[in-house]
Amino acid sequence: MKAIRKCLFPAAGFGTRFLPVTKAMPKEMLPIVTKPLIQYGVEEAMQAGISGMAVVTGRGKRAIEDHFDVSYELDQQIAGSEKEDLLSDTREIMSRCTFSYIRQGEIRGLGHAILTGEPLIGDELFAVILADDYCVAEGDSVLAQMVHLYEEYQCSIIAIEEVPQEESFRYGIIEGETQDESVYRISNLVEKPAPTDAPSNLAIVGRYILTPDIFDIIRNTAPGRNGEVQITDALQSQAAQGKVIGYRFEGRRFDCGSVSGFIDATNYTYNKQNPQ
Protein backbone atom coordinates (compact mmCIF):
# COMPACT_ATOMS: atom_id res chain seq x y z
CA MET A 1 0.00 0.00 0.00
CA LYS A 2 1.42 3.36 -1.01
CA ALA A 3 1.37 5.96 1.76
CA ILE A 4 0.73 9.61 1.03
CA ARG A 5 3.72 11.51 2.34
CA LYS A 6 3.34 14.93 0.75
CA CYS A 7 0.73 17.61 0.40
CA LEU A 8 0.93 20.40 -2.14
CA PHE A 9 -0.41 23.87 -1.32
CA PRO A 10 -0.89 26.10 -4.38
CA ALA A 11 -0.41 29.54 -2.86
CA ALA A 12 0.74 31.86 -5.61
CA GLY A 13 -2.59 33.59 -6.28
CA PHE A 14 -3.01 37.30 -5.62
CA GLY A 15 -6.20 37.23 -3.55
CA THR A 16 -7.60 40.20 -5.43
CA ARG A 17 -11.03 39.78 -3.85
CA PHE A 18 -9.48 40.83 -0.54
CA LEU A 19 -7.69 43.97 -1.72
CA PRO A 20 -6.33 46.08 -0.20
CA VAL A 21 -5.41 43.69 2.65
CA THR A 22 -3.72 41.29 0.21
CA LYS A 23 -1.63 44.02 -1.38
CA ALA A 24 1.40 43.24 0.77
CA MET A 25 0.16 40.15 2.62
CA PRO A 26 -0.48 36.66 1.19
CA LYS A 27 -4.16 35.70 1.25
CA GLU A 28 -3.11 32.37 2.79
CA MET A 29 -2.02 34.34 5.86
CA LEU A 30 -5.46 35.85 6.50
CA PRO A 31 -6.40 34.80 10.03
CA ILE A 32 -9.40 32.76 11.04
CA VAL A 33 -9.39 34.04 14.63
CA THR A 34 -5.68 33.66 15.47
CA LYS A 35 -4.38 31.13 12.95
CA PRO A 36 -3.67 31.83 9.30
CA LEU A 37 -5.71 29.91 6.74
CA ILE A 38 -2.74 27.91 5.51
CA GLN A 39 -2.02 26.63 9.03
CA TYR A 40 -5.46 25.02 9.16
CA GLY A 41 -4.61 23.32 5.86
CA VAL A 42 -1.28 22.08 7.23
CA GLU A 43 -2.99 20.75 10.37
CA GLU A 44 -5.57 18.98 8.23
CA ALA A 45 -2.79 17.31 6.23
CA MET A 46 -1.02 16.28 9.45
CA GLN A 47 -4.22 14.69 10.71
CA ALA A 48 -4.17 12.67 7.49
CA GLY A 49 -0.71 11.33 8.38
CA ILE A 50 1.19 13.63 6.02
CA SER A 51 4.39 15.40 7.09
CA GLY A 52 5.86 16.75 3.84
CA MET A 53 4.36 20.15 3.07
CA ALA A 54 5.16 21.47 -0.41
CA VAL A 55 4.13 25.04 -1.08
CA VAL A 56 3.89 26.70 -4.48
CA THR A 57 4.49 30.36 -3.77
CA GLY A 58 5.17 33.51 -5.70
CA ARG A 59 6.26 37.07 -5.22
CA GLY A 60 5.14 38.65 -1.97
CA LYS A 61 4.58 35.34 -0.19
CA ARG A 62 7.54 35.19 2.14
CA ALA A 63 5.38 35.58 5.24
CA ILE A 64 4.28 31.96 4.67
CA GLU A 65 7.87 30.73 4.96
CA ASP A 66 8.50 32.87 8.02
CA HIS A 67 5.35 31.58 9.68
CA PHE A 68 6.59 27.98 9.61
CA ASP A 69 10.05 28.88 10.87
CA VAL A 70 11.54 29.81 14.23
CA SER A 71 11.52 33.43 15.30
CA TYR A 72 14.36 33.73 17.79
CA GLU A 73 13.53 37.22 19.00
CA LEU A 74 9.91 36.29 19.60
CA ASP A 75 10.79 33.01 21.31
CA GLN A 76 13.13 34.84 23.64
CA GLN A 77 10.63 37.58 24.33
CA ILE A 78 7.85 35.24 25.48
CA ALA A 79 9.97 32.46 27.04
CA GLY A 80 8.53 31.49 30.43
CA SER A 81 5.39 33.64 30.01
CA GLU A 82 1.85 32.29 29.62
CA LYS A 83 1.96 33.47 25.98
CA GLU A 84 4.28 30.57 25.12
CA ASP A 85 1.22 28.37 24.81
CA LEU A 86 0.06 30.43 21.85
CA LEU A 87 3.02 29.18 19.86
CA SER A 88 2.67 25.52 20.83
CA ASP A 89 0.76 24.55 17.66
CA THR A 90 3.27 26.10 15.28
CA ARG A 91 6.15 24.58 17.26
CA GLU A 92 4.52 21.18 16.99
CA ILE A 93 4.09 21.64 13.24
CA MET A 94 7.75 22.60 12.85
CA SER A 95 8.94 19.62 14.84
CA ARG A 96 6.84 17.12 12.90
CA CYS A 97 6.83 18.47 9.35
CA THR A 98 9.23 19.50 6.63
CA PHE A 99 8.43 22.44 4.38
CA SER A 100 9.63 22.93 0.84
CA TYR A 101 8.87 25.82 -1.47
CA ILE A 102 8.94 26.56 -5.16
CA ARG A 103 7.96 29.72 -6.94
CA GLN A 104 5.39 29.95 -9.70
CA GLY A 105 6.67 32.77 -11.89
CA GLU A 106 3.43 33.36 -13.73
CA ILE A 107 -0.16 32.65 -12.80
CA ARG A 108 -1.53 30.27 -15.42
CA GLY A 109 -4.18 28.28 -13.57
CA LEU A 110 -4.47 25.60 -10.90
CA GLY A 111 -3.24 22.85 -13.23
CA HIS A 112 -0.14 24.89 -13.97
CA ALA A 113 0.38 25.57 -10.25
CA ILE A 114 0.22 21.84 -9.49
CA LEU A 115 2.66 21.09 -12.31
CA THR A 116 4.99 23.77 -10.90
CA GLY A 117 5.08 21.72 -7.69
CA GLU A 118 6.27 18.56 -9.47
CA PRO A 119 9.95 18.96 -8.42
CA LEU A 120 8.81 19.02 -4.77
CA ILE A 121 6.58 15.95 -5.15
CA GLY A 122 8.44 13.69 -7.58
CA ASP A 123 6.94 10.47 -8.86
CA GLU A 124 4.63 9.68 -5.98
CA LEU A 125 1.06 9.86 -4.85
CA PHE A 126 0.26 13.23 -3.25
CA ALA A 127 -2.49 15.39 -1.82
CA VAL A 128 -3.48 18.95 -2.73
CA ILE A 129 -5.11 21.42 -0.36
CA LEU A 130 -6.46 24.78 -1.51
CA ALA A 131 -6.17 26.70 1.74
CA ASP A 132 -8.97 29.11 0.91
CA ASP A 133 -11.42 26.21 1.06
CA TYR A 134 -11.41 25.99 4.84
CA CYS A 135 -12.82 22.63 5.91
CA VAL A 136 -13.94 21.59 9.36
CA ALA A 137 -15.01 18.12 10.45
CA GLU A 138 -16.07 16.64 13.78
CA GLY A 139 -14.03 13.43 13.48
CA ASP A 140 -11.34 12.72 10.90
CA SER A 141 -10.21 15.72 8.88
CA VAL A 142 -11.60 15.88 5.33
CA LEU A 143 -8.24 14.88 3.86
CA ALA A 144 -7.94 12.00 6.37
CA GLN A 145 -11.35 10.74 5.21
CA MET A 146 -10.07 10.86 1.62
CA VAL A 147 -6.91 8.96 2.52
CA HIS A 148 -9.08 6.14 3.91
CA LEU A 149 -11.04 6.10 0.68
CA TYR A 150 -7.85 5.94 -1.35
CA GLU A 151 -6.97 2.72 0.48
CA GLU A 152 -10.10 1.22 -1.02
CA TYR A 153 -10.08 2.71 -4.54
CA GLN A 154 -6.34 3.25 -5.29
CA CYS A 155 -6.93 6.08 -7.75
CA SER A 156 -7.32 9.87 -7.70
CA ILE A 157 -9.90 11.11 -5.19
CA ILE A 158 -11.50 14.55 -5.18
CA ALA A 159 -13.74 16.14 -2.58
CA ILE A 160 -17.17 17.22 -3.79
CA GLU A 161 -20.24 18.84 -2.30
CA GLU A 162 -23.68 19.87 -3.45
CA VAL A 163 -24.03 23.51 -4.44
CA PRO A 164 -27.03 25.47 -5.73
CA GLN A 165 -27.15 24.88 -9.51
CA GLU A 166 -27.05 28.64 -10.19
CA GLU A 167 -23.58 28.78 -8.59
CA SER A 168 -22.05 26.18 -10.91
CA PHE A 169 -20.02 28.88 -12.70
CA ARG A 170 -17.84 29.22 -9.60
CA TYR A 171 -16.72 25.57 -9.44
CA GLY A 172 -15.54 22.50 -11.26
CA ILE A 173 -18.68 20.37 -11.64
CA ILE A 174 -18.68 16.59 -11.91
CA GLU A 175 -20.86 13.91 -13.41
CA GLY A 176 -20.62 10.38 -12.12
CA GLU A 177 -22.18 7.16 -11.10
CA THR A 178 -22.97 6.54 -7.44
CA GLN A 179 -20.89 3.79 -5.84
CA ASP A 180 -22.49 4.33 -2.50
CA GLU A 181 -24.19 7.22 -0.73
CA SER A 182 -21.13 9.44 -0.65
CA VAL A 183 -18.88 8.00 -3.37
CA TYR A 184 -19.10 8.65 -7.12
CA ARG A 185 -17.11 7.14 -9.96
CA ILE A 186 -16.59 10.26 -12.08
CA SER A 187 -17.17 10.12 -15.84
CA ASN A 188 -17.04 13.81 -16.69
CA LEU A 189 -15.79 17.09 -15.20
CA VAL A 190 -16.41 20.64 -16.42
CA GLU A 191 -14.64 23.71 -15.10
CA LYS A 192 -17.01 26.52 -14.12
CA PRO A 193 -19.93 25.75 -16.47
CA ALA A 194 -22.91 28.06 -16.85
CA PRO A 195 -25.85 26.69 -14.79
CA THR A 196 -27.58 25.53 -17.96
CA ASP A 197 -24.50 23.50 -18.99
CA ALA A 198 -23.71 22.01 -15.58
CA PRO A 199 -23.93 18.20 -15.67
CA SER A 200 -24.95 18.09 -11.98
CA ASN A 201 -24.95 20.22 -8.84
CA LEU A 202 -21.91 18.43 -7.38
CA ALA A 203 -18.98 20.83 -7.14
CA ILE A 204 -15.29 20.15 -6.65
CA VAL A 205 -13.94 21.37 -3.31
CA GLY A 206 -10.23 22.16 -2.91
CA ARG A 207 -9.04 18.75 -1.66
CA TYR A 208 -7.47 16.26 -4.04
CA ILE A 209 -5.48 13.04 -3.82
CA LEU A 210 -3.69 12.66 -7.13
CA THR A 211 -1.72 9.83 -8.68
CA PRO A 212 1.57 11.11 -10.14
CA ASP A 213 0.67 10.34 -13.78
CA ILE A 214 -1.31 13.59 -13.46
CA PHE A 215 1.89 15.58 -14.10
CA ASP A 216 2.34 14.21 -17.64
CA ILE A 217 -1.35 14.66 -18.26
CA ILE A 218 -1.21 18.32 -17.18
CA ARG A 219 1.79 18.87 -19.47
CA ASN A 220 -0.45 17.77 -22.33
CA THR A 221 -3.54 19.69 -21.25
CA ALA A 222 -4.41 22.74 -23.31
CA PRO A 223 -5.50 25.93 -21.55
CA GLY A 224 -9.23 25.85 -20.84
CA ARG A 225 -11.56 28.14 -18.88
CA ASN A 226 -10.14 31.69 -18.62
CA GLY A 227 -7.23 30.64 -20.86
CA GLU A 228 -5.68 28.82 -17.88
CA VAL A 229 -4.45 25.24 -17.49
CA GLN A 230 -7.13 23.60 -15.36
CA ILE A 231 -6.66 20.57 -13.10
CA THR A 232 -10.33 19.82 -13.78
CA ASP A 233 -9.53 19.29 -17.49
CA ALA A 234 -6.49 17.15 -16.71
CA LEU A 235 -8.57 14.92 -14.44
CA GLN A 236 -10.84 14.21 -17.41
CA SER A 237 -8.15 11.87 -18.85
CA GLN A 238 -8.04 9.83 -15.66
CA ALA A 239 -11.84 9.88 -15.40
CA ALA A 240 -12.09 8.42 -18.91
CA GLN A 241 -10.36 5.34 -17.49
CA GLY A 242 -12.63 5.24 -14.44
CA LYS A 243 -9.79 6.43 -12.24
CA VAL A 244 -11.29 9.41 -10.45
CA ILE A 245 -13.51 9.07 -7.41
CA GLY A 246 -15.62 11.95 -6.09
CA TYR A 247 -16.23 11.93 -2.36
CA ARG A 248 -18.95 13.81 -0.51
CA PHE A 249 -17.06 14.39 2.69
CA GLU A 250 -18.38 14.64 6.21
CA GLY A 251 -17.88 18.13 7.52
CA ARG A 252 -18.35 21.67 6.37
CA ARG A 253 -16.52 23.87 3.90
CA PHE A 254 -16.21 27.65 4.02
CA ASP A 255 -15.27 29.49 0.85
CA CYS A 256 -12.61 31.76 2.30
CA GLY A 257 -11.79 32.98 -1.19
CA SER A 258 -14.84 35.21 -0.76
CA VAL A 259 -15.25 37.87 1.90
CA SER A 260 -18.62 36.55 3.10
CA GLY A 261 -17.35 32.96 3.37
CA PHE A 262 -14.34 34.22 5.26
CA ILE A 263 -16.54 36.10 7.74
CA ASP A 264 -18.77 33.01 8.18
CA ALA A 265 -15.67 30.89 8.87
CA THR A 266 -14.41 33.41 11.38
CA ASN A 267 -17.73 33.55 13.25
CA TYR A 268 -18.11 29.78 13.20
CA THR A 269 -14.60 29.21 14.55
CA TYR A 270 -14.84 31.91 17.19
CA ASN A 271 -18.16 30.53 18.45
CA LYS A 272 -16.75 27.02 18.49
CA GLN A 273 -13.78 28.17 20.56
CA ASN A 274 -15.92 30.31 22.87
CA PRO A 275 -19.17 28.43 23.48
CA GLN A 276 -21.83 30.55 25.17
Residues making contact with ligand G1P (CB under 6 A): 110, 130, 133, 171-172, 191, 203-206, 230, 232, 257
Nearer to ligand G1P, 74 or 194 (CB): 194
State the nearest-atom distance from the C-beta of 215 to ligand G1P, in Å: 17
Peptide bond into 199 cis (omega under 30): no
Neighbours of 198 (CB within 10 A): 22
State the nearest-atom distance from the C-beta of 133 to ligand G1P, in Å: 5
Is-contact 138 46, C-beta < 8 A?
A: no
Is-contact 204 159, C-beta < 8 A?
A: yes
Is-contact 33 269, C-beta < 8 A?
A: yes
Measure the CA–CA gap between 234 and 247, rounded to whole angstroms. Answer: 18
CA dihedral 13, 16, 22, 27 (to 10 degrees): -40
Nearer to ligand G1P, 15 or 172 (CB): 172
State the nearest-atom distance from the C-beta of 181 to ligand G1P, in Å: 21
Nearer to ligand G1P, 26 or 93 (CB): 26
Q: Which residue is nearest to ligand G1P (CB)?
A: 172
Cα dist. 176→56, 171, 210, 235 in Å? 30, 16, 18, 13
State the nearest-atom distance from the C-beta of 108 to ligand G1P, in Å: 12
Could you tell me which of 131, 158, 135, 127 has the C-alpha nearest to residue 11? 131
Beta bridge partners of 55: 9, 101
Nearer to ligand G1P, 200 or 232 (CB): 232
Is-contact 168 193, C-beta < 8 A?
A: yes
Nearer to ligand G1P, 2 or 17 (CB): 17
State the nearest-atom distance from the C-beta of 167 to ligand G1P, in Å: 10
State the nearest-atom distance from the C-beta of 28 to ligand G1P, in Å: 13
State the nearest-atom distance from the C-beta of 140 to ligand G1P, in Å: 20
- Burial classification of residue 82, based on how many CB atoms lie within 10 Å of its CB (0-12 exposed, 13-18 middle, 19 or more buried): exposed
111: Cα separation from own chain's centroid: 13
Nearer to ligand G1P, 183 or 190 (CB): 190
Nearer to ligand G1P, 12 or 93 (CB): 12
